[in-house]
Structure 1
Amino acid sequence: MVKTEDTPDMADGWREVFERSRVLPPPSQTVRLALDNHFTQSLGSQLTLSRLTAAHLPQAQETTGGGQEVTYQLRVTLFDRSHQHFFGNTWKSPSLRMKNKKIPVNEVLYFHTSLRLPSTVVVLELVSLSPRPDGSQQALGRGFAVLELFTNRPEAQAADGDRRLNLHHGSPRSLLHPLVKATDDYSSLLTTIDGAHLDCAVKNHQALVSVMHLLPENVLISGKEKIPGLAASPTGKLHISEKV
């Protein structure tokens, strides 16, 4: 029998499980286009998030009115810009702290997708987390960046390699505006935050092929997470040796 006073805690626990497990499907038109282009095999990728430099972060305050330190969080989601649709899951970093206008992230994310189209990008949002009197946290967007994965433009950077992504003012929801859909170059419509950028690196990760059956497609995971069926890794990176 469940006691009345235990119900809120259980509800919060189930809500947390639901939020972690929620995965949005990609647009059906994009899936068909990938099949038409014979992209039937899922490609594994590794995204290394190093640090974020925020020299002029808008409205940034290191402490709240009560003297408590403000922390930060990086949120990462896949996005189809042709159909203006977020899909997959939203990965959220642990709480991060700023020091000397820099926020160390030091996370390695893994995912695989068969949607190897120029419209498939990664959206990364920085939010500040301020404690509320009731113990919860208020999340406030501080800017966002867009990472291209499969570009076919010769003037763009290669898909693999180190990147320095500019942070833009506003919320990723601005990518849903009708004016944005008409362009492939977000830089002409988005306003860059002066001196704010994210250092990262993206590369193909062939080792994921052997464990793709354990990882849902279009789901971002950290190498520090425990994955059922995979052995724990002492290095914090995804360990691809399956459990016996």
Structure 2
Amino acid sequence: MSEPSDLSVGLTGTFPCSYLDEQEEQLIMLIDPEVHAPQHYLSLMAIGFRRSGDQVYRPHCPNCNACESLRISPAEFVLSKSQKRLLNKNKHFNVKQSNQIKSNYFQLYERYINKVHRDGVMYPASLDQFESFMACAWGNVQFIEIYDEEKLIAVSVTDQLENATSIGWSAFYCFYDPDYTIHSLGKYAVLQQLKLAKEQNITFLYLGYYIHNCQKMNYKNQFNPHQRFINQQWVTFD
């Protein structure tokens, strides 16, 4: 069995960074992810990799190292006062977990992208783009749904990663109803992922990359304690 360090990777060209103005982005890409990712994705996540669609990558930017993978131990996570208030505010919502994508997801995703992320690379939303972005032929993808009575208002797309000794979750993407902005559904969805992950003995929930100077990423460091991958090691923050 090969270790992640033995796997073949490639390097993309540079392109404008999606998060920091005036920065150039470059990625290390796993070669043949459909062959290697099912066995090694959890180990790759532990050294800063992540997926987009079927592809597995890690930032390798020429003049910047701002992206820091962030993960939380559900067993050690402690709710803050504001998080407790948010849970109480949204206590009338229902949460369900599914392992199949549903036909009504795209309508919610389309409204979210076209209203919340009009300045992003995924605007305008299309069904083809949605399917290629969400799909993962080699992975075990879970969908954590949030409902207001019978109305679907948010979906957290969550990858389940396994090896011989542990199971991890990766919060791949969350989209929600823009009419529910006052309910902070992005933060609420993470709290629900942590709750379910603790119940299911998940070792870590990975929240993707944290970037200190990117305001849209700053919510991630509000879940404590957490760890960030800095200079090739995990550093704990309380």
- Considering fraction of residues, name the structure with more helix: 2
> How high is the TM-score relative to the length of structure 2?
0.24
- Considering fraction of residues, name the structure with more strand: 1
Bigger Rg over Cα: 1
